[in-house]
Structure 1
């Protein structure tokens, strides 16, 4: 079977089953798993599939709007927020980027905390202005509707003026092999800029995006200081992330 026929089979199988494994496809086509892995890598680079651990799935809707994401996984966000609050200390300078989990966190900070927050997250700004002792710095840039953030060259240049004690990163995809990834290229640029200018980076990752790789690379998993999830730290889904020098919370 030629490559194009394999591509067609893989895409049809994913549409039917929602996700596939390398082993399943290799068995169905009587080819090696390495061949299937290379095929899926090419389909992924063309934006036709999303990678998961050991296989592939339908790509994320391109992409979910901010309002879509605000209305789902609220219980998971509550758990992540409770854990993330332990990293935030009085007097810190903190980067916060886009995402609905970041917004949930912005609404639950201690009412009297004295700190500085630098962000491009427009909905979070509307929450943070209510804290009298937070110095709020808003990054400029081009407004990106799907993520509800300011992005682009201006945003990245603005970030070069600051150094943060902590970067709380909203996360689109994270995998022990492919690292941290984003669904929007301009968002990936901003995340990399925040990472470079931060002393410590903590990824906020719900269970749904674990072992998933989106199109635009942000960093290696080992570039993180910690990853906070909604799961218990000994959950089996986190086994692939252990022993990589990153704290799992």
Structure 2
């Protein structure tokens, strides 16, 4: 079998199954595990998958720059942003992470809301400039231009001095085994700091992030209080997260407990 054919079979399996286990995949094709591992290394170098111990996971499509992410699933991000904005209660102090979905959250906060938004995203801060009742605290640091957010020691220290009610977190991958991931080490550290300084975390995840993984782990899936997804999210992807114990809320629908089906009923 040609290398190109093997690569295509691997990518097809990732789209179909959400993962490739090198040993089992090699056995199914009558090939050695070493051959499959070499193929996985080559595909990872091309940015087509994320290698993990024993195999591979789909590469997060959301690793493109900020301008590129604005073109990914825009309708989903509006739905998620609107649902996240409805979770903010009067008088609360909330962290709002960077990213295109976070900007939608800011834009959909009710005009009558009085609350405090703490953010390390200039884009989120600018979206709230004309909101009459929202106090904005902008965290500074080194500007990470790829995501248009502040990172580094100064940002981490400032975040640690605040106790927030809720953190609305952006990620590039949400996977049952790989957990919450992102594409940059410093950004992952900032996101961990946001979670640690908050009473609860809501992860905002459009469809391309579900079942995908990036190189840097933010936290295990269990540390997300809620994973907020769009109505267009794949039922299989949502079911996999719920089976792993995540509390997944579909924007526009009532919250469901971990393990519940789409009718809100727990398995018997």
State TM-score, norm by structure 2: 0.77
CA contact (8 A) 2:207 2:234 kept: no
Q: Which residue of 2 aligns with 1:191?
A: 191
Q: How many aligned positions are there?
A: 239
d(CA) in 2 for partners of 1:28, 1:181: 31
d(CA) in 2 for partners of 1:45, 1:162: 40
Aligned residue for 2:131, secondary structure, equals: coil
d(CA) in 2 for partners of 1:160, 1:71: 33
d(CA) in 1 for partners of 2:150, 2:192: 15
Aligned residue for 2:199, secondary structure, equals: coil
Q: Name stretches of at least 5 consecutive residues in structure 1 with no aligned partner.
A: 1-7
C-alpha RMSD over aligned residues: 3.4
Following TM superposition, by how much is the alpha carbon of 1:139 offset from its aligned partner in structure 2, in angstroms? 0.4
d(CA) in 2 for partners of 1:69, 1:49: 18
Q: Which residue of 2 aligns with 1:134?
A: 134
Q: Name stretches of at least 5 consecutive residues in structure 2 with no aligned partner.
A: 15-19, 250-268
Q: Which residue of 2 aligns with 1:205?
A: 205
CA contact (8 A) 1:178 1:213 kept: yes
Q: Which residue of 1 aligns with 2:83?
A: 83
CA-to-partner distance for each residue in 1:216-244, whole Å, 9 max, x for gaps?
01000000110001137892221111144
Q: Which residue of 1 aligns with 2:105?
A: 105
Q: Which residue of 2 aligns with 1:116?
A: 116
Q: Which residue of 1 aligns with 2:29?
A: 28
d(CA) in 1 for partners of 2:31, 2:244: 34
Structure 1 residues 72 and 242, CA gap change in structure 2 (3 angstroms): closer
d(CA) in 2 for partners of 1:59, 1:235: 18
Q: Which deviates further from its counterpart, 213-222 or 13-22?
A: 13-22
CA contact (8 A) 1:207 1:231 kept: no
Q: Which residue of 2 aligns with 1:70?
A: 70
CA contact (8 A) 1:139 1:159 kept: yes
CA-to-partner distance for each residue in 1:16-70, whole Å, 9 max, x for gaps?
95764445554235346x9957985998699773259x84446758x41111111
Structure 1 residues 217 and 11, CA gap change in structure 2 (3 angstroms): farther
CA-to-partner distance for each residue in 1:142-194, whole Å, 9 max, x for gaps?
00111011111111011111010000001110111110001111110100000
CA-to-partner distance for each residue in 1:64-87, whole Å, 9 max, x for gaps?
111111122111112212322332
